[in-house]
Structure 1
Amino acid sequence: MTAVLESPTPTRPDLNRPLLVLAAVMAVTAVVTAILAVVDPVQITGTNGWLKPLKFSISIAIYAVTIALLLTLLPARRRKLGRGIAWVVVTGMVVEMAVIVGAVATGTTSHFNVSSPLRGAAWASMGFAIAAVWLVTLVLAVLLWRASDDPARRLAIRAGLVIGLAGMAVAFLMTSPTAEQLDSFSGIAGAHAVGVADGGPGLPLLGWSTTGGDLRVPHFVGMHALQALPLLAFGLEAQRRRVPALESSGTRFRVVAIVSAGYAVVVVLLTLQALAGIPVTQPFG
């Protein structure tokens, strides 16, 4: 008898360890900064300074886990490149958090702060780090364009990455000096808010302006399409036994397509609203 040799079934790689470590460090950072926000509520531009690193640490932790999950979808020949992407993300996020925490610890702002050569260099390093993270996320989007055989899951990953990249790109709109800053330069070049100064009345914890437009809104909503749309696809798959209609991959695809299109429209509308100087609390002006 001739023995039949079976080719080994390819196994999905483990979650990227550096990204998981980053997520764990950010989780600890979130706890520490939450405590500091209570015991040492330092006021920076009219708000509790420790809330910024708290929000960023939570967002970065979620982002790191998401990228770690997406990297497991890469084919074997692309996994070395995936590890390189992971290290760029880890390095970029560490640089960003170091600048943010350092600024709060010294009682000043991190974003848009060019009031001294040191502050300017810190802000430039943060901008370079985030640009690098955006670029490698774009590379990952290209690599994952055919990541799944399931049409709904494939669309969710594609749409999540594309809308997520667009949401991340909104941040670049914040880096241009406002007209007021050009007229009277005080060391700050750029702003989150539109039509009003940063640091005014805002939503609890999030800080989004309630008196003017705020580009952080479409930035946040768009960026988290990375999680929302793939989770939608996985959720639809999980409900196949309870909802017979979801047994059809075509039905799941149409649901993901409609939600993805709606999500993209919302991000565009939120961006236009912010640029028009309309608060997120007044969606109809």
Structure 2
Amino acid sequence: MNTLTSWMDSKQSQASLWQRIIGTDRFLAWVAAGSVVLFVATIVLSIFDSRLITGAPAWIKPMKFAISTILYAGTLAWMLSFVKGYPRLVRWIGGLTALGLVVELAGIFFQAGRGVASHFNVSTPLNAAIFSLMGTFVMVIWVMNVATAVLLMRQKMENRPFAWALRLGLLVTAVGSILGFMMTQPTPEQLAALQAGETVSVVGAHSVGVADGGAGLPFVGWSTEGGDMRPAHFVGLHALQLIPLLGVFVNRRFNTRLSEGRRTALVAIGGLGYLGFVLLLLWQSQRAQPLIAPDALTLTVLGGLVGAVFLAAMAVAAKKRIEPEKLTVN
């Protein structure tokens, strides 16, 4: 009976989640649903199309971005459902975000179909225009992310730990998004060529210390030969899902043990620790160090970060709850 009840509660929870997503912004819901179709399409195309773009299968990048769009559109719609009192602004945020995601996906799929790189590609006026257009709408998505964070900062919510999990998730995601713009900056070699008046076909790069397109990890393609900014970008973007999940976990695990204030402190410690990890990954990449080959200094800093988060969390969780004194009658 308990198993059946848990299963039914799970189904009801899933139904409620979908109702929140669809009911908040239909454009984001449509984009998420359409990205599922595109994801399936990339699997089929990968089977029949063996072309390589910058050393990777042509449809891998569209596949990764379809997955990312499903998660981003669905999560943002869910977060917007907690904003009360600004229906028109919520519709604008959802609509502009959906438009930005569609433009980015369209550019990536169009260029993959042509067999050319979608990012950093300025080899022709058309390629440069597509890259520039994608970048413009990515900025729109970023601004809408920050606007959502501002609305939730102003929003009064009864559950403070969960409220701060939503806010920190959006803020750390905004930081992770900024790292994408860092990749579009010319490398020292590209900048030298531009300053010398030479024509370049590529502006920007994922990798640091090595050229893009070299040996990389399966599927994600993160460089195994030099630094790569994509891990920090990836981890930062998915704070949108992981930090709110931390808020849910803290509430469920410590609801009866810790006060609301201390649960909020745990969420803040986790969120700041997550941000610290994003910055650590960025720092590692800027030292031209592969993700899977951290040196002693990187491991030391990582150990210090994990230790600081653990000790801070333990200090908050270990405090005994102060119970009101019981009156006794003599």
In the TM superposition, residue 149 of structure 1 has moved relative to its aligned partner by 2.4
Correspondence for 2:272 among 258, 261, 275: 261
Return the alpha-carbon distance in structure 1 between the equivalents of residues 45 and 211 of structure 2: 26
How many residues align? The count is 270
State TM-score, norm by structure 1.
Answer: 0.90
Correspondence for 1:208 among 222, 240, 255: 222
Return the alpha-carbon distance in structure 2 between the equivalents of residues 284 and 227 of structure 1: 29
Letter matched to residue 238 of structure 1: R
Return the alpha-carbon distance in structure 2 between the equivalents of residues 215 and 58 of structure 1: 19
Alignment correspondent of 1:6: none
Asked whether the 8 Å contact 1:245–1:251 carries over to 2, the reply is: no
The DSSP-based 3-state class of the residue aligned with 1:86 is: helix
Correspondence for 2:257 among 245, 253, 271: 245
Give matches, 1:37-52, under 5 Å: 37-52=46-61
Alignment correspondent of 1:220: 234
Alignment correspondent of 2:35: 26
Asked whether the 8 Å contact 2:232–2:278 carries over to 1, the reply is: yes
Letter matched to residue 270 of structure 1: L
Give matches, 1:26-175, under 5 Å: 26-76=35-85, 78-147=86-155, 148-175=157-184
Q: Which runs of 5+ in 2 are unaligned?
A: 1-19, 297-330
In the TM superposition, residue 185 of structure 1 has moved relative to its aligned partner by 4.6
Instruction: List per-residue Cα deviations over 1:182-203 (Å, max 9, x = no partner).
Output: 4375411111111111111111
The DSSP-based 3-state class of the residue aligned with 1:204 is: coil
The DSSP-based 3-state class of the residue aligned with 2:24 is: coil
Asked whether the 8 Å contact 1:146–1:154 carries over to 2, the reply is: no
Q: Which has the higher helix share?
A: 2
Alignment pair present for 1:231 and 2:242: no
The DSSP-based 3-state class of the residue aligned with 1:127 is: helix
RMSD: 1.7
Asked whether the 8 Å contact 1:37–1:49 carries over to 2, the reply is: yes
Return the alpha-carbon distance in structure 2 between the equivalents of residues 75 and 167 of structure 1: 27
Asked whether the 8 Å contact 2:162–2:251 carries over to 1, the reply is: no
Alignment pair present for 1:272 and 2:283: yes
> Taking structure 1 as reference, are residues 133 and 188 closer, same or farther at Cα in structure 2, changes over 3 Å only?
same
Alignment correspondent of 1:194: 208
In the TM superposition, residue 257 of structure 1 has moved relative to its aligned partner by 1.9
Return the alpha-carbon distance in structure 1 between the equivalents of residues 286 and 118 of structure 2: 22
The DSSP-based 3-state class of the residue aligned with 2:73 is: helix
Letter matched to residue 39 of structure 1: F
The DSSP-based 3-state class of the residue aligned with 1:145 is: helix
Return the alpha-carbon distance in structure 1 between the equivalents of residues 295 and 277 of structure 2: 13
Q: Which runs of 5+ in 1 are unaligned?
A: 1-11
Asked whether the 8 Å contact 1:71–1:79 carries over to 2, the reply is: no
Asked whether the 8 Å contact 2:224–2:291 carries over to 1, the reply is: yes
The DSSP-based 3-state class of the residue aligned with 1:34 is: helix
Return the alpha-carbon distance in structure 2 between the equivalents of residues 165 and 92 of structure 1: 15
Letter matched to residue 225 of structure 2: T
Instruction: List per-residue Cα deviations over 1:22-57 (Å, max 9, x = no partner).
Output: 001111111110221222121011111200000001
Letter matched to residue 265 of structure 1: G
Return the alpha-carbon distance in structure 2 between the equivalents of residues 239 and 176 of structure 1: 44
Instruction: List per-residue Cα deviations over 1:108-137 (Å, max 9, x = no partner).
Output: 000011111111111110010001110111
Letter matched to residue 287 of structure 2: A
**Quick check: which has more Rg, 1 or 2?**
2
Percent same amino acid among aligned pairs? 41
Letter matched to residue 57 of structure 2: N
Asked whether the 8 Å contact 2:208–2:226 carries over to 1, the reply is: yes
Asked whether the 8 Å contact 1:15–1:68 carries over to 2, the reply is: yes
